């Protein structure tokens, strides 16, 4: 099984499924293009910026993540059971999927390779402060770190802290500040 190159195994499986009428290559192409080009962290950034500028939206987001992001049109595979956790001065949240790669696709697209890596998945649970420091995020010693293990029952999404000095920013300006890693909890938003 392992001697056959993986790309040929993939091609073989695709051929067999297409021949049996179980898979439409056009549907495959559409999904690939969608996650390569259209669905990505910008969606999550829009959610964050809206939560920062609209307290009522933020309350709805924290109450029922899936429904609140659907208001902005973000839904689809892996978007169910979205749970939003808010970073504050007291607590920093970081997300992992210890068993596989559960991740809120409609908001962030497909997960980056480090998120799927066995080392991250195992270590961030045991020693989050050290792992975050290695990734360039020094969490103040007096700030608690909460690690959230995503699954099919709950996919976690971090609402990062709004940086100081952005009080006069418009929602669109805020969107541009929010990078993917801040919504997984391995980075902070910088003004």
Q: Where along the sequence are the contacts to other proteins (CB under 8 A)?
A: 1, 4-17, 20, 22-24, 27-29, 31-32, 34-43, 45, 73-77, 99-102, 106, 108-110, 112-113, 116-118, 152, 175-176, 178-181
**Residue among 14 and 63 whose Cβ is closer to other proteins:** 14
Shortest Cβ distance from residue 190 to other proteins (Å)?
14
Please answer whether residues 161 and 70 qualify as being in contact, where contact means their C-beta atoms are separated by less than 8 angstroms.
Answer: no
CA distances from 128 to 60, 141, 155 (A): 29, 12, 19
> What whole-number distance in Å separates Cα of residue 85 and Cα of residue 15?
43
Q: Is 100 a catalytic residue?
A: yes
Q: How many CB atoms lie within 10 A of CB 3?
A: 4
Alpha helices in 72-159 (DSSP H): 105-108, 113-116, 118-126, 128-134
Q: Is 101 a catalytic residue?
A: yes
Alpha helices in 55-162 (DSSP H): 55-63, 65-71, 105-108, 113-116, 118-126, 128-134
Q: Is 151 a catalytic residue?
A: no
β-bridge partners, 85: 158
Indicate which residue of 101, 113, 151, 152 is catalytic.
101
Shortest Cβ distance from residue 91 to other proteins (Å)?
24
Shortest Cβ distance from residue 174 to other proteins (Å)?
11
**Residue among 34 and 191 whose Cβ is closer to other proteins:** 34
Q: Is 97 a catalytic residue?
A: yes
β-bridge partners, 131: none
Shortest Cβ distance from residue 89 to other proteins (Å)?
26
- The DSSP 8-state label assigned to residue 36 in this structure reads I
**Residue among 72 and 146 whose Cβ is closer to other proteins:** 72
**Residue among 10 and 88 whose Cβ is closer to other proteins:** 10
Q: Which are the catalytic amino acids?
A: 97, 100-102
């Amino acid at each position: 099984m392992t001697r056959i190159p993986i790309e040929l195994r993939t091609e073989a499986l695709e051929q067999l499924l297409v021949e049996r009428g179980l898979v439409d290559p056009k549907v495959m192409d559409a999904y690939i293009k969608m996650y390569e080009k259209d669905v990505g962290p910008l969606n999550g950034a829009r959610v964050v910026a809206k939560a920062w500028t609209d307290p009522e939206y933020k309350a709805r987001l924290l109450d029922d993540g899936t429904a609140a992001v659907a208001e902005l049109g973000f839904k689809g595979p892996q978007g169910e059971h979205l749970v939003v956790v808010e970073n504050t001065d007291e607590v920093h949240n970081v997300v992992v999927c210890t068993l596989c790669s559960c991740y809120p696709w409609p908001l962030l697209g497909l997960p980056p390779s480090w998120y799927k890596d066995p080392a991250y998945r195992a270590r961030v649970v045991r020693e989050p402060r050290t792992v975050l420091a290695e990734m360039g995020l020094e969490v103040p010693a007096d700030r608690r770190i909460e690690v959230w293990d995503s699954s099919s029952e709950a996919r976690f999404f971090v609402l990062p802290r709004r940086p100081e000095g952005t009080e006069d920013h418009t929602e669109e300006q805020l969107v541009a500040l929010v990078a993917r890693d801040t919504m997984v909890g391995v980075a902070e938003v910088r003004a």
